[in-house]
Every structure is written in C-alpha cells, then in structure tokens.
C-alpha cells in the first residue's frame, strides 16, 4: 500500500521533516515562500493531506475547488481563523491544530513585550545603536513600573493563564480578566485573579492589557478607538493573539496622541505587511510574530501535526481535531 502524499506549506524544523518523510510521501516548500490561492487549490486536488500554517489563507473559494483528493488539513499552529471552518466542514475536510505545546513560549513573548514596552527597551536599544546615548542621568528615559502593577487579560485560556502566573508570582502583579465562560476556581484562587464584567471595565482599571482572544469576525477590531479611549494614559497594550483583534489605525492614533503610554505587538493585521504608522512611533515595540519561535516549541508543534496525520491515516481517534 502506497504512503499518503502530504504537502508541507512552509519549512519546519529539520528533525520533524525527516520523521514525516519516514511515514509519508512528503513535498516540502524548499523556497519557504507563501503559497498562492491557486497553488493551494492545485494541492487540494493532488495531495492526501495539506499542512498549512497560521499565515496561509484557506478561504471558502479555495476549499471548494472541484475534484479534491485532500481529506485532512493538519494545521501547524493553534489558531485556525485563517481556515474557513464552515467551508471545510461542508466539504468533508478534517482540520486539526497544535494546542498546548506553545503555551509557555507565547506567554514568554507576551511578558517580553510587556517589559519592553513598560521600560522602553526597544527605544533604548535604538538610542544606543544610533550613538545618541551620552551616559546615565537621573531623568533619562524614565518609564513605568511592572512589579505590583495591574494586568488585565482579555481572554483567559492556556496562554493567558501562563502569562498571569508569570506576572503574578514573578512580578507581584494584580490580575484582572474577562472570559465568556467561568474560569477554573482553583486557577483563579492561585492567581488571586478577579473577573471583570466587561472589556470596558477591565480597560479602565488596568496598567497593562494583554490580548489572548481568538481571531475571527466576532473579535475583529475588538480594541478600537472607543475602547482605547477607556484605557489609562499611563497604560500599555500587548497583543500576541491575532492582528485583526486591534484596529491598527486606531492604535496608531492613540499612541500618537499619547492617549496610552505604549504598546507591544507580535501580530498584525495583514501580516507580514504592517501599518506604516507603527514604524514612525517611538512608543511601540514591534516583533516579527515570535510567539512560538523556540526550537523546542516549533519541534513539538510539528510532532503534534505528525501525530494527527498518523492517527488519521491509521484510522485512530485524532488527538487535536477541530472539525
């Protein structure tokens, strides 16, 4: 019996690619470039499985291509708002993801952005590199305290809870959160966390706001001009969730007007393109979607996809099935 054919849309850690090749007929994207909609349509007709990443757009138009051979989309990532899930379901396509393994690394990046924004780390780095630092003085680049400050989490899933643990137990931060459903009381007690009745309440009370909600139509521009006005002028906004959760133009305007003190972003609307206004701001830290970018995490993500593919093609229960 021939091995199933699998397309990997971008390069993965070499160790995982090697394991995939042991079990499947694998086609690698050796140029490591984003594939077009036309290329994905063709792939759906010629491969048994496709493994996209969170930056690959698989719309209804793509997924409803005629004469499909593909039966499973093994997504390399937790988020799947780049895949039209309803179209996948109606077309009988299985979708899996990679939850759990990237929690701590993404939480680390959220804390990195929080600290860099609070203490003006990126701005200080640029100052030194430009040869404009002329020595210590008492009033140079004064910034905001993190220890003992109040952190608000919009969304309270695995990653948000990991951020809360680091912030509360490591920096003595007070934790507020919003969550559509009740949180685990054991976790809430450990973090001494307080639920807010609305996003608006949370925004008015926090020194730092970190976004951890899923992307998609229901959360698009959740943080908009009106809600940014509710934040303290000394507050910082952190986004490691999805770029479209924040209205980019509204954030640029708020930072320019100093309605809020700063922001730290690891994700963007329409990435890799970013709003040009961000590049002109001093009070923002910009990272290139590094959330899960550790060797161990990216390897574990690939192993998750491999486990889901193996389960599917051997008729076992899929460990991370979305659809």
CB neighbour burial string for 204-231, b if at least 16 within 10 angstroms, e if fewer: ebbbbbbbbbebeeebbebbeeebbebb
CATH code for the domain of 152:
3.40.50.720
- Do 274 and 306 have their domain in common? no
Mean pLDDT (10-residue bins), the chain, 323 residues: 93 98 97 97 98 96 98 96 97 98 98 98 98 97 98 98 98 98 97 98 98 95 98 98 97 98 97 96 98 98 98 98 98
- Do 224 and 137 have their domain in common? yes
Judge whether 320 lies within some domain: no
- Do 125 and 217 have their domain in common? yes
- Do 66 and 115 have their domain in common? no
- Do 242 and 147 have their domain in common? yes
E strand intervals along the chain: 5-8, 25-28, 49-51, 72-74, 94-96, 150-154, 174-178, 194-195, 208-211, 236-239, 262-265, 284-286
- Do 146 and 263 have their domain in common? yes
- Do 97 and 111 have their domain in common? no
- Host H or E run for residue 191: helix 185-191
Structure tokens at 92: 């009988």
pLDDT of residue 1: 63
pLDDT of residue 221: 98
Residue 36 DSSP symbol = P
Determine whether 221 is an active site residue: no
Residue 53 DSSP symbol = B
Judge whether 318 lies within some domain: no
Distance of CA 108 to the CA centre of its chain: 12
The span from the CA of 29 to the CA of 44, in Å, is: 15
Determine whether 25 is an active site residue: no
- Do 233 and 305 have their domain in common? no
- Do 186 and 215 have their domain in common? yes
- Do 171 and 60 have their domain in common? no
- Do 62 and 194 have their domain in common? no
Q: How do residues 51-68 score in pLDDT, each as one tens digit? A: 999 989 999 999 999 999
Catalytic residue of the set 227, 242, 275, 298: 242
pLDDT of residue 173: 99
Instruction: Check if the beta carbon of residue 32 is closer than 8 Å to that of residue 56.
Output: no
Catalytic residue of the set 271, 303, 310, 321: 271
Catalytic residue of the set 46, 158, 221, 289: 289
> What residue numbers bound the domain in which 213 lies?
103-286
Judge whether 141 lies within some domain: yes
- Do 274 and 202 have their domain in common? yes
Sign of the C-alpha dihedral computed for residues 256, 260, 265 and 271 taken in this order:
negative
Residue 321 DSSP symbol = B
Taking alpha carbons only, the member of 83, 43, 90, 82 closest to residue 64 is: 90
DSSP state letters, 210-252: EE----SGGGTTSB-HHHHTTS-TT-EEEE-S-GGGB-HHHHH
Judge whether 71 lies within some domain: yes
Q: Note if the bond before 233 is cis, omega within 30 degrees.
A: no
What's the domain count of the chain? 2
Judge whether 165 lies within some domain: yes
Determine whether 129 is an active site residue: no
Instruction: Check if the beta carbon of residue 260 is closer than 8 Å to that of residue 231.
Output: yes
Tokens 């889901």 appear where? 308
The span from the CA of 3 to the CA of 301, in Å, is: 22
What's the whole-model pTM score? Answer: 0.96
Helix (H, G, I), strand (E, B) or coil at 265: strand
Judge whether 322 lies within some domain: no
Judge whether 323 lies within some domain: no
The span from the CA of 9 to the CA of 260, in Å, is: 39
Judge whether 192 lies within some domain: yes
CA angle, 159 then 163 then 166, to 5°: 140
């Amino acid at each position: 019996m021939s091995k199933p054919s699998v397309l990997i849309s971008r390069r993965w850690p070499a160790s995982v690619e090697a394991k995939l090749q042991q079990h499947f007929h694998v086609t690698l994207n050796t140029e490591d470039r984003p594939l077009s909609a036309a290329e994905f349509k063709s792939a759906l007709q010629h491969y048994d499985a496709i493994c996209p990443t969170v930056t690959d757009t698989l719309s209804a138009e793509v997924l409803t291509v005629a004469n499909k051979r593909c039966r499973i989309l093994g997504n390399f990532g937790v988020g799947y708002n780049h895949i039209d899930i309803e179209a996948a379901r109606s077309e009988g396509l299985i979708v899996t993801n990679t939850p759990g393994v990237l929690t701590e690394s993404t939480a680390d990046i959220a804390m990195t952005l929080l600290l860099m924004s609070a203490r003006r780390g990126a701005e200080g780095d640029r100052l030194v590199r430009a040869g404009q630092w002329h020595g210590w003085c008492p009033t140079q680049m004064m910034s905001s305290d993190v220890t003992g400050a109040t952190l608000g989490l919009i969304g309270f899933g695995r990653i948000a809870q990991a951020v809360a643990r680091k912030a509360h137990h490591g920096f003595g931060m007070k934790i507020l959160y919003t969550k559509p459903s009740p949180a685990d009381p054991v976790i809430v007690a450990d973090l001494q966390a307080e639920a807010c009745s609305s996003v608006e309440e949370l925004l008015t009370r926090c020194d730092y706001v970190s976004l951890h909600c899923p992307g998609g139509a229901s959360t698009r521009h959740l943080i908009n001009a009106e809600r940014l006005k509710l934040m303290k002028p000394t507050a910082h906004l952190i986004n490691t969730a999805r770029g479209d959760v924040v209205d980019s133009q509204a954030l640029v305007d708020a930072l320019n007007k100093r309605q809020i003190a700063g922001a730290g972003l690891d994700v963007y609307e329409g990435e890799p393109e970013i709003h040009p206004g961000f590049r002109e701001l001093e009070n923002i830290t910009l990272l290139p979607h590094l959330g899960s970018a550790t060797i161990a995490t990216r390897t574990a993500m690939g192993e998750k996809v491999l486990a889901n593919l193996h389960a599917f093609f051997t008729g076992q229960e899929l460990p991370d099935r979305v659809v």
